[in-house]
Every structure is written in C-alpha cells, then in structure tokens.
A = this chain, B = another copy of it.
Amino acid sequence: MIIVMKPDHTADELRELVMKMEKLGLKTHISKGERRTIVGLIGDRDILQEIPYTSFAGVESAHPILRPYKLVSREFKEDNTRFQVGPNCEFGGKAIPIIAGPCAVEGREVLEEIADALHELGIPLLRGGAFKPRTSPYSFQGLGEMALKFMSDVRERTGMPVVTEIMDPRDLLLVYKYADVLQIGTRNMQNFRLLTEVGQLDKPVILKRGMSATIKEFLMSAEYIMSRGNGKVILCERGIRTFETETRNTLDLSAVPLLKQLTHLPVIVDPSHALGRVDLIPAMTLAAVAAGADGLMIEVHVRPHEALSDGAQSLTPEGMANLIERLRPVAKAVGRELL
C-alpha cells in the first residue's frame, strides 16, 4: 500500500500515522520527494485492505499495490484448474464444452423437445431456469422444483448433466439435489451470502459477471466461493452495461484473455444474454472462441416466439446446428476443439 501525504501535512501527522501502522504489525518506508512524502506499507494483505487511510490527518490518498484476491489468482496456482462435470465433460481443458437450453423451463414437453434436439447435436450440457430473477414482479418467475424435476428426468434419459440458477440460500438443498452445476446469476454476483453457501458445496458453480462489475470485483466474488472450500468455479462473461441500446448489454470479450491471465479458473462466455438479439450471436460466438473462451453458454428454444422469457435471444436448434458447423474450424484454428 502506498500512502501519499498532503503537501501541507505536519511532522506530527506523519509520526502518528507511522506509529499506528506499525502498531498494526505493518512495516513502513518513508520516501520524501520534492512535492510529496510517500509512505510505503508492507504486511498482511487483509490488514492492509481494512484501514481507512484517508481518515488519518495529513493523508491525501492511498494506492493499493497488490491485487486483493489470492486463491483465484495465477500467482497462487499457476496451472489451469480442470474438473469433470458428468462422465464425459471437462472444464478447463483443450476441448470447449457448450451448455445450451432454454432461458426458463416452461413445461415438461417443451423442455424434452429442446433437450432432444440438443442431444442430437452432441451438445454435452443442458441449461434451464427453474427460478428466474425477473425485473418485474408480474413476469413469469419460473416453475421452481417442478422445473428441476423435469430437467433431472431429461438427464436420466439423455445423460446430459444439467445447469440451473440458484437465487436464494433457502433453495440450496433443493437445487443441489437436482443440479449438476449451480449458476449464480449476474444480479447475484455480489450476493455474498449466496456465494458463501455455494462455496461449501462439492459441485461446480458458474459465476456470472455482474453487469457493471469490474474484473477485480468479479474475481473477489469467485474468491468468496473458493475461500469456503469450493475450487470448482467457472467464470462466465455475459455482457456489461454500456451506453449502447442496439444490444441489451455489451459482450466484453477482452475479459476472456484478461481473466485467463489473472486466474487459473475456466472462463466461459454467454453471448445470448449479452446481446439480447439472436442475429449477432453467431459472429460473437466465433469471436469468443477465438479470444480463448473455455466454454460457451447459449440459449436455444424450439419456438423462440413462444418462450416465456428471453425469446428474442434464443437460437433455434437449426440455428445452433449451423453455428456448430461454423465454430469447429475456428476452434481448430486456435488450437482447441468443441467437446
């Protein structure tokens, strides 16, 4: 931590600051420049982060030097984290798994129809929402446990592991019972209680980036999960809020190589929620793979215009089949392959 003193600070103020910092177990280095005096602080990262430096008299500003996350960082663990989901699907390896399915599970039949189409295309993982975070209290909120049962029945039949969102710590056991991978949605990226809970499970967690979160905040939320013992965290870029209104959000693909440099965790991309419109999804999915994505999450529906949520961004199975054809050569061109 670097503390910059005000130009008019007094010797007493500097002395008191140094004394208090050393009392907290920190080492201090004072460096007097022409225009500013600077105090470097060395010591335990957690202590360093907690001190309200600018409330000390004479302090102008404080500049952290170290990144605040540990367990998720490449410094802490150099090799890519890899783990299995179901018998045939690995995250963090050379092969790129695709997670596909409807935004929300709307009924048994339509789910089966979608899942069968995806299974036929060789898609390894099925997604579907049982609990839906909706901006309006009057919108469809999901079928709850019934949706979970439908998905688990589909898994039985097709062998596809299922991915579903958890919104409330009270649903933990329920969702855990049915799902293979739990998802934390963008609006819950900083629902710290929920992060703490899924951090105690032994199943993988997809953590979606908050729609206005910085990369540092995103990684701090992953740190919450890892700090409780669950190392199977999958980071998911799903678009950030910008001024643009032609698309729902702006897919930040530079997050992919950046995250892969900062962390050992797998990084996947959800172009569907980022764009909110189906026509741009193919090009951006190709780009995601070229940027180094370790996985993809894509909404597919058999009849998008009948979808109870997010129909405008759903590919049809035909659209998905077509996209896969275009994806294969791009994956190969960057030394990867589709799972």
Contact = CB atoms under 8 A, between A and B. Distances in A.
Contacts of A292: 283
Contact of A277 (B54, B170, B304, B326): B54
A253 B312 contact: no
B243 A247 contact: no
Oligomeric state, in number of copies?
4
Contacts of A46: 136, 138-139
Among A242, A251, A279: residue with most chain B CB under 10 A: A242
Interface in A235-253: 240-247, 250-253
Interface stretch (A110-118, A155-163, A174-182, A209-217): A209-217
Given A65-B2, A333-B332, A246 B216 contact: yes
Contacts of A134: 192
Interface string A298-327: 000000110111111010000000000010
Contacts of A217: 135
Contacts of A243: 212, 214, 240-241, 243
Contacts of A42: 31, 33-34
A35 B66 contact: yes
Contact of A247 (B168, B240, B258): B258
A118 to B, nearest CB: 18
A165 to B, nearest CB: 12
A133 interface: yes
B275 A286 contact: no
Interface in A198-218: 211-212, 214-217
A309 B240 CA distance: 28
A181 to B, nearest CB: 21
A102 to B, nearest CB: 12
A81 interface: no
Interface stretch (A85-93, A121-129, A146-154, A219-227): A219-227
A216 B244 CA distance: 9
Contact of A311 (B40, B52, B216): B52
Contact of A224 (B137, B228, B307): B137
Interface in A65-86: 65-66, 68, 75
A63 B63 contact: yes
Nearest to A32: B42
A133 to B, nearest CB: 5
A99 interface: no
Contacts of A339: none
Given A50-B139, A240-B242, A290-B287, A75 B7 contact: yes
CB-based closest 7 A-B pairs: A52-B311, A212-B212, A290-B290, A329-B333, A257-B283, A287-B291, A55-B304
14 contacts: A29-B31, A34-B42, A38-B65, A49-B136, A50-B309, A137-B192, A167-B193, A170-B170, A188-B191, A212-B243, A215-B246, A283-B292, A290-B330, A330-B334
